[in-house]
Structures are given as structure tokens and as C-alpha cells.
Amino acid sequence: MKSNSRLLLAGDIGATKTTLALFDATVDPKHPCNQRTFQNALYPSFDDLLHEYLAHSSYSATDACFGIAGPVTAKAVKMTNLNWSLDADALKSRHSFSQVFLINDLVATATGAMRLNATDLHPLNRGVVSAGAVIAVLAPGSGLGEAFLVEHNGVYRPCSSEGGHASFAPRNAEQIELLAFMLKRYAHVSVERVCSGLAIPDLFAFMTTEQATPKVLLDELASATDLTPVIIHAALRAIRGECPCDIAVQTLTLFADILADEAANLALKTLALGGLFLGGGLAPRLLPFFTPERFMPIFARGAYQDLLSRIPIHIILNPHTALLGAASYGTVAIRRNMPPSTDK
């Protein structure tokens, strides 16, 4: 990276971890520099985390663009599943950036998805792309993110959404029982409450009302501070034939079924005939649970079954899609709107 380049600091700020990297803002963002990932629980605020990153960087960033898990209003955001608040003007002043852009993390993911190669994607339904139509993005991670892209003058522009916090609508008798179970725990049951990393322990607890839990899993759960990865590991281990655990498999099957149904809801509400991307941290980890044979009958249903069956669906495999999207969004904004900044 040239020492006199205009450097953009891009970030993917989730509920659990944050990834930061530097990009040359004068070229297409392909090659990150000084990329580091941080566990958010170790820092009382994003500002503390950012200070540590900048203090150990051999380059000086001129601008910044951060994708954040929360709604951005008036250049500020209070994160949904983490007690952090970010303000663009405060970050700009405190760290001497020329400009700071804050965008929703799903805007970053949607932007990054448009730059991926075929090797970064796992096809779930080949479908038929309708040129110029809306493209939807659904991303289960710690929470459940939703966004969509709209074509304007040949360019796809991302639109944020908080659709993951819309009410959960059960699709069958089992899910009606799940909703009743969840209403005893929460005043409002959103889709995110039953379709995210945070939701998996609740889905598992629901399953325990009907099934026994193997002792090996009980022992693992008893010593864990975070139940979600333990349940996921047990389910994947079982589906590979290594150690039977029906309750973990059925927990993740229920999760995947709810996601398929919510993907159809998002596709219908946005008329996403341009395609649908499944992103986030969970979808690529749970590929064995996302088979066309299971997913598509749930996704392609109802009055528009034929229309839904033609929508291309891909699972995003690249774990740095949101970081790439934040870098792409930032570089475009710099080139379009901002005068060159003075080298530091």
C-alpha cells in the first residue's frame, strides 16, 4: 500500500466480534491491509477497541466506514444486541478522520454480496434472474439481519431494514407450540427470537419439553458459558454420523425451516426476483441443514409458489463480505462526494 494513499478504515461491527482493515480508497477494495478481528466482550466501547487498533497500526487512516449491527439514524447508532453506541461526528473528531460513514451491517453485507465471485457462493436454487429486479439479503448471525438492493440507473443501491424484529409467524402446528413456549419467556416474539444465534438455546429448550438430552451433551452444556456453539457442534457431529444427538439435529432443523420461511417472506415483500443471498455467520456453518430438498418446499409455497421457485438463492461463504461491503461503500462515497484529504 502506498504511503501517500488515501486510506479508508473499513469495519464490520457485529454483536460478538469486530473486524477492521485498511483499504486504498483510490482503487477498488480488494486487498485489505492490517486486518484484525476483536472480541467485543473485551472492550467497554467501540472507541476503546478502535483506539487499540489505531495505536498498533503502521498506517494512518484518512477516512472510515463502519457496518454496524443496528439502525443508523442521524449519523449515529445504538447497537441492538450490544451495549455500544457510535456517533460518526464524535469518531471523526476524536480520531482525526476526514470523514466517517456509518452504515447498517446488512447494507454492508448487501453491498459486499454484489462483489463476490462464484467461488464465494453456494447455490441453493439456481433459478432465473430477472434483470433489474430487487435483490434480497437475509443474514442470521448473533441476530437476524435483513436488507435489499434496488436498481437505479444501472447501479444497485442497498436499503436497510429491521425486518428481523418483525413478529414471528408460525407456519405449522410445531411452530405454533414454539410461539406459545416463547411467549412465556418474552413479551414480543420477533423472527430474530427464533432464528438467530441468540435464539438457538431457546429452540433447544423448546425441544427438551418433548425429548431427552444425551448425557454427553448435558455435560458439555453444563460447562459452557455460551450454549449456541455447543448445540451447533453436537448437531453437526451427529449429522456426520460421529455421535448421535437427535435433539440437537432437530433444533437446527427447526432453525433452518424458520429461516427458509422468513426468506420467502422477505422475497415476497420486496419482490426479490433478482435473487436472494443468505449471509451472516450461521448459514455457511450449517450447510448440511440447508439442502434444496428441505429448503425449497418451505420457501416456494402459497399463492406465488411458482414465482418463488424461480428466485435464485445463494449462501454466502466469504466470511468477510460485510467488511468488503463497508470498504466498497466507503470508497464510492469518498470518490463521489469528498475532496481529497491532506496526507498525515
Interatomic CA distance for residues 292 and 277, integer angstroms: 14
As a 3-state breakdown, the chain gives helix, strand, coil percent values, each rounded to 5, of 40, 25, 35
What does pTM read for this prediction?
0.92
Sign of torsion, CA 313 319 321 322? positive
pLDDT at 7 over 50: yes
**SS3 assignment, position 246:** helix
Helices 105-113 and 321-337 sit at what angle, rounded to 10 degrees?
90
pLDDT tens readout for residues 133-157: 999 999 999 999 999 999 999 899 9
**SS3 assignment, position 127:** coil
pLDDT band at 57; cut points 50, 70, 90: confident
pLDDT tens readout for residues 11-55: 999 999 999 999 998 888 888 999 999 999 999 999 999 999 999
Range 164-316 has CATH code 3.40.367.20: yes
Sign of torsion, CA 299 301 304 307? positive
Interatomic CA distance for residues 138 and 315, integer angstroms: 10
What residues contact residue 72 under an 8 Å CB cut-off, 6+ apart?
102, 103, 104, 160
**SS3 assignment, position 138:** strand
**SS3 assignment, position 289:** helix
Contact yes or no for 44/37 (Cβ under 8 A): no
Instruction: Output the pLDDT for position 340.
Output: 44
Query: Residue ranges of the domains in the chain?
Result: 7-111+320-337, 164-316
Helices 246-270 and 227-239 sit at what angle, rounded to 10 degrees?
100
Mean predicted confidence (pLDDT) in 192-218: 96
The CATH H-level superfamily of 7-111+320-337 is: ATPase, nucleotide binding domain (3.30.420.40)
Best CA proximity match to 325, nearest among 8, 29, 27, 93: 29
**SS3 assignment, position 104:** strand
pLDDT at 342 over 50: no
